[in-house]
Structure 1
Amino acid sequence: MNWSALIVFVALFIFVTWLGFWAARWRAGDLTQLHEWGLGGRRFGTFVTWFLLGGDLYTAYTFIAVPALVYGAGALGFFAVPYTILIYPLLYLVFPRLWLLAHKHGYVTSSDVVQGRYGNKWLALAVGITGIVATMPYIALQLVGMQVVIGAMGVSGDGLVGDLPLIIAFVILAAFTYTSGLRAPAMIAVVKDLLIYLVVIAVTIFVPMKLGGFGPIFAAVPAAKLTLAAPAADTYGAYSIYATLALGSALALFLYPHSLTAILSSSSPGAIRRNAALLPAYSLVLGLLALLGFMAVALHVGTNPAFADGFKRYGNSFAVPALILAIFPGWFAGIAFAAIAIGALVPSAIMSIACANIFSRTIYRGFLAPNATSAQETSMAKLASLVVKIGALAFIIFVPVPYALQFQLLGGLWMIQVLPSVILGLYLRMLNGWALLAGWVVGMGVGTWMASTTSFKAAVFTLSFMGVHFPGYIALWALIANVAVSIVLSALLRPFVAPAPMLAE
């Protein structure tokens, strides 16, 4: 047991717990209204939105998984850096328009926007269910990151004993989310992101100092891991994989309910645009974070007997905790592990709130209780947020981690299939709701079938054309099929069905 790390970890965890409950008083509003509980009253300015989006997108799983991918696969793991850069022009150009529509018409979710745009409750339901199903394994994977750092401090075991720290953490999360809504993760995100910046900067300074600079670090990495493998004559190989992973991931990220919830909580379109300019600071940190994978290779943590049990239990996901334990004293390891654990709480809270907003507005009020009052709608959202957390916790306790990773792969390729309905619908009047629903079915089916050919273990499928092979991200191939069906069917239906009017901003 690493007692110094554990004491610091618990102290920081207690502090953010208090902060989560206190947040109910911050910018106090009527928490019986869904937009107050689930969107913070749409009053977060540039500063808070920056931390909220950063806490939302750069999660505990990011902190663990990106360096682990670089540690294991090498340069391919750096696709996460350009994909975050591709996101920001999309954020700047598209989402202020979405915010204006949501603010004018009182929309809380992307399903609301789709329902208002097309008047098709079944398409809105498809968009909403996609968001919930894609987000559930995402929440579960935050627990994987928390499991790894708790285990790194020596707190481990089998059965209930091993899962007890996660259960306690999620009971606390459920309590302050229920009482404070989105205000809690917004406030905690400030602490989480400051800790993440502190840890990443410290690691990128002190590890190279110990190893003699970045030159020896890169020299210690096998040459095959430093660059993408050159493609053969008849295939684009790793190049097309890298490019399609970056593009597809960029297109999908802000469609996730938690991302959109953070955006819609902003106080104005200007706050969103300013964040599009400021958020690349996180991409810089992500690049440094990815380098931790190479630092772990250079330190040979995988062959260190002290970390053998950790790698046996958690695989390459243990690379970052091992790196931190190898370099820093226990008290600093406690700060780093607390940053990762808090980095699980913040997005998990936002994700559960986002799923609850969808359930309450789209399913409960849309189908089950159309005459429900605002207070009843919000009460249902609070209960739904608890159910989502319990489901995610059960997912990680009873479902092996490899299966959770497979579900996350499926979640990404499913989530991108709502892009035509949510994004293209903001600009193209010709699109028909039923055609978009058909396109969604085709995209979901094609993507799931492609993933099944890899036994749901990989995100890449190879297309062949005129003897040339294009391996690429399954989600992007499925999206192309989705868009093609949506546009063609919309054109065919246009003589028979009048297009829905564009919503006024």
Structure 2
Amino acid sequence: MIAHLNWTATLVFVAFFALVTGLGFIAGRWRAGDLDDLAEWGLGGRRFGAWVSWFLIGGDLYTAYTVIAVPAVVYAVGAYGMFAIPYTILIYPLLYLTFPRLWAVTRAKGYITAADYVDGRYGNRWLALAVALTGILATMPYIALQLVGMEKVISALGFEGGPWASHLPLTIAFIILAIYTYQSGLRAPAMIAFVKDIMIYIFVIAAVIVVPLKLGGYGAVFDAAGAALAKKAALSGKPAGLTLLPAQIMPFITLAIGSAMALFMYPHSMTGILAANSGTAIRKNAYMLPAYSLVLGFIAIMGYMALAAGIEVKNPQDVVPQLFLKMFPSWFAGFAFAGIAIGALVPAAVMSIGAANTFTRNVWKPFVDPGIGSKEEADLAKLMSLIVKVGALIVILVMPTTFALDLQLLGGVWMIQVFPAVVFGLFTRWFSGWALLAGWAIGMVVGTGLAAGPLAWTPVHAVFGLGFSAYNGLIAFVLNVAVAGALSALLPNTAPDATRAADYEDEALA
């Protein structure tokens, strides 16, 4: 089990993991509040300023699996894997224009989740339930894939074993995560995010300086990567290269746009936003967070570096750990692996909290126990956060990773279908709740149907009559809006609206 363990890297890894574990347990006393209240446990009391929000939201969106998967796709197919970079740039104008309004109305009305807001705005608890269940469904495989990222670096340390023994370090790490998240709520990932983000910045900057120097400069890196991708394309018959082929351009554009629209609809993204202390803090983050997009570009280039370094792996997800093991001393590889593993803990914690908040507020309370008290509500959310983590761990233990990946990729197709109910409602009450529910149902069915390939998830589909392919989620979204718009024109909007125009104004606009 430990015969081939890299002890130097492992000791550094364990030391930093122990550090963040300690931070997780003391986080409950940071900006202390009543953790028997759901807004305090699940949203940190809505007291995070611009800097704390920057680390939390960045740590929430740029995950361990991002560090593993984006270079892996670039390593496998080249430029097409770069779609993650423009989409993480496109989301920030959306953040600036819309989410201060959502923050303001949720603060004014005491809403905890996006589904809370949808229920109040449209007076339709079934639409709110659809938004809630979509978020929970899409979040579960997302958490599971954070475990994949952690598992890759643990494996790279040299830890070996049978099917169950190999998962032991991962299981222990997630048990620790579950305990301190239960105890400290959102404050735990917010505090740990400081350490995680600093570590990722350090090892990424080191990689983009040191690795090209060892390989003869960036010109040599791109030349070698281009040759390797051309060889892959010739052998496989599938497109791969340093630049996009003409047929890849529209799929690339639509995938970036659709992914950007979906990202902040996830419960964990929403949780990070709603935990801010003001609309101004959200606006500041809209122009500060692109720094993470710059780092993401550096991370993506690691795929080309691995090609240039001659790294060969059976699974492309192993390329980043193997690149660091080859190019850096063991102690620094251990540092980088710890940063990636901690990069799994922050989003996994926020994802479990977001899903737990959503289940408690929008499934259990309205449909099972409408009279639930404040403490019981918080206790149920804490319990659900444990159940969500256990479910994600079981997914990794018993389900093939490729299937978990397919489900996570489908998550974006699903989450974009709640965009009309959440974002359109921030600016107009013209749409009917029942019409939006019908549009959501059409979008979910069509998006899932388009994505169901014969062997695996298919990200794009040919658009009938237009001569190009587009992202499945965006195709389904267009049909979603068309149905919602047509039915809203036919169905009178008679449901009560619990919000007022003044509720959407934050301190910068009041």
For 1:474, the equivalent position in structure 2 comes to: 472
Structure 2 distance, partners of 1:404, 1:335, is 28
Structure 2 distance, partners of 1:119, 1:110, is 14
TM-score between both structures, scaled by the size of structure 1: 0.95
The alignment status of 1:176 with 2:180, answered yes or no, reads: yes
Structure 2 distance, partners of 1:14, 1:30, is 26
Structure 2 distance, partners of 1:261, 1:154, is 36
For 2:216, the equivalent position in structure 1 comes to: 212
Q: Which runs of 5+ in 2 are unaligned?
A: 231-239, 504-510
The alignment status of 1:296 with 2:296, answered yes or no, reads: no
Structure 2 distance, partners of 1:189, 1:498, is 41
Per the TM alignment, residue 133 of structure 1 is displaced from its structure 2 partner at its CA by 0.4
Identity of aligned residues (%): 58
Structure 1 distance, partners of 2:337, 2:14, is 10
Structure 1 distance, partners of 2:162, 2:400, is 13
Residues 123, 496 of structure 2: 8 Å contact kept: no
For 1:361, the equivalent position in structure 2 comes to: 361
Structure 1 distance, partners of 2:183, 2:480, is 40
Q: Which amino acid aligns with 1:483?
A: V
For 2:440, the equivalent position in structure 1 comes to: 440
SS of residue in 2 equivalent to 1:81: helix
Structure 1 distance, partners of 2:403, 2:485, is 35
Per the TM alignment, residue 114 of structure 1 is displaced from its structure 2 partner at its CA by 0.3
SS of residue in 2 equivalent to 1:486: helix
Q: Which amino acid aligns with 2:426?
A: L
For 2:291, the equivalent position in structure 1 comes to: 281
For 2:245, the equivalent position in structure 1 comes to: 230
Per the TM alignment, residue 159 of structure 1 is displaced from its structure 2 partner at its CA by 2.4
Counterparts of 1:189-208 in structure 2, within 5 Å, are 189-208=193-212
Q: 1:155 is matched with which residue: 132, 138, 159? A: 159
RMSD (Å) for aligned C-alpha atoms = 1.2
Q: 2:489 is matched with which residue: 487, 491, 498? A: 491
Q: Which amino acid aligns with 1:365?
A: K
Q: Which amino acid aligns with 1:376?
A: E
For 2:390, the equivalent position in structure 1 comes to: 390
Per the TM alignment, residue 454 of structure 1 is displaced from its structure 2 partner at its CA by 4.8
For 2:336, the equivalent position in structure 1 comes to: 336
SS of residue in 1 equivalent to 2:161: coil
For 1:305, the equivalent position in structure 2 comes to: none
For 2:262, the equivalent position in structure 1 comes to: 252
Residues 429, 499 of structure 1: 8 Å contact kept: no
Per the TM alignment, residue 61 of structure 1 is displaced from its structure 2 partner at its CA by 0.3
Per the TM alignment, residue 498 of structure 1 is displaced from its structure 2 partner at its CA by 6.1
SS of residue in 2 equivalent to 1:423: helix
SS of residue in 1 equivalent to 2:467: strand
Q: 1:33 is matched with which residue: 10, 33, 37? A: 37
Q: Which runs of 5+ in 1 are unaligned?
A: 232-236, 303-310
Structure 2 distance, partners of 1:158, 1:60, is 24
For 2:137, the equivalent position in structure 1 comes to: 133
Residues 429, 501 of structure 1: 8 Å contact kept: no
Residues 45, 271 of structure 1: 8 Å contact kept: yes
Structure 2 distance, partners of 1:45, 1:436, is 34
Q: Which amino acid aligns with 1:145?
A: G
Residues 52, 262 of structure 1: 8 Å contact kept: yes
Structure 1 distance, partners of 2:263, 2:213, is 35
TM-score between both structures, scaled by the size of structure 2: 0.94
For 2:381, the equivalent position in structure 1 comes to: 381
Structure 2 distance, partners of 1:290, 1:47, is 25
Task: Kindly tell me the number of residue pairs found equivalent between the two proteins.
Answer: 487
Bigger shift: residues 159-168 or 97-106: 159-168
What per-residue deviation string (whole Å, max 9, x for no partner) do you get for residues 375-409 of structure 1?
00000000000000000000011000010011112
Per the TM alignment, residue 251 of structure 1 is displaced from its structure 2 partner at its CA by 0.3
